[in-house]
Amino acid sequence: MKIAITGISAYLPKKVITNDDLAKTLDTSHEWIYTRTGIEKRHVVSEKELASDLGIKAAKGIIEQTNLNPKEIDGIIVSTTTADRRFPSCACKIQGEIGAKNAFALDINAACAGFIYGLAVSDSMMKGLNLNTVLLIGAETLSKFVDWTDRSTCVLFGDGAGAFLLQASTRRNSIIAAKLYSDGKKEKYNHILAHNGPQNDNRGYTTMEGRPVFKQAIDCMASSMNEILKENRMKIDDVDWIVPHQANRRILESLCKIRNFPLEKVIITTQEHANTSSASIPLAIKDGIDTGKIKKGDVILLTALGAGLVWGSAIIRI
């Protein structure tokens, strides 16, 4: 069975917080944030908006774009670290809201590498269960899980959702390969510290050891890119675009130096979106398509690292 990506959508909350906005309440500045991260602004949900709400908007975007009958969807897989509740899943809520009554629904949590994990899970389930149509969504509301008085973390994150429609095909194969990794011994570098958040509730807040995460991101993503290309007998010149997880522009620049790949062939949206965790890759791909950079038939190398630590790479064809 071949799996084709037949639709891509994205959704960003309306509220935008700029670096200058943050500088009004934090000991920081636009220059301080931008020079260290490449971030200029981030989209942020309202108090009542949830990850499932963003996922629903992205799902409806796919349905409208492709004229898909929701009853034809066999499965909905949502990658999120910021689910509405412990249970039921965001995927179940989305399934009910869009009328996909014949679809199974499940959430996966692989932090910022979640969309790559989701691609691998979707590919395996579609082939193993002989499914025709799966909706893969990355949806995050990280603004609800940061300490807005901590300039070392709150400036980094934003909210958003992106979705792929995956369908069985006899002509075109979009998911060429995926390779996944994890190292639980390094979980201390980046996690949500539960029950101690400034919100005074049970959500907790994000903590991060910036320097170790920075180094791990470069080392792990570079090595996974090397391995997946080697295993598929490909070279970096065979790739039209690299779309990495959009965490920090300096990380992306370092990756290009290591892989000897021109920065202009990397899709970068950190300046507009900040770090949207598992939503960052589909948001970046949609942006690349909308701006005319990514075209049909392009081969794209995806790579990401997230809390866990978990990381991985994938090769897809649009």
Of 286, 250, 241, the residue nearest 156 (C-alpha): 250
How many Cα atoms sit within 13 Å of 205 on the Cβ side? 15
Of 150, 163, 156, the residue nearest 94 (C-alpha): 163
Catalytic residue among 19, 190, 220, 245: 245
Pairing of strands 75-79, 41-44: unpaired
Catalytic residue among 19, 190, 248, 275: 275
Catalytic residue among 112, 154, 248, 273: 112
Does the annotation count 245 as an active-site position? yes
CA angle, residues 144, 145, 151, in degrees to nearest 5? 105
Tracing tokens 């990380």 back to the chain, one arrives at 251
Of 3, 250, 234, the residue nearest 119 (C-alpha): 3
> For the chain, how big is the Rg over CA atoms in Å?
18
Does the annotation count 112 as an active-site position? yes
Does the annotation count 275 as an active-site position? yes
Per-residue CA distances from 84 to 126, 130, 145, 203, 308 (Å): 26, 30, 12, 10, 20
- Extended beta strands in 183-278, E state: 190-193, 205-208, 241-244
Active site residues: 112, 245, 275
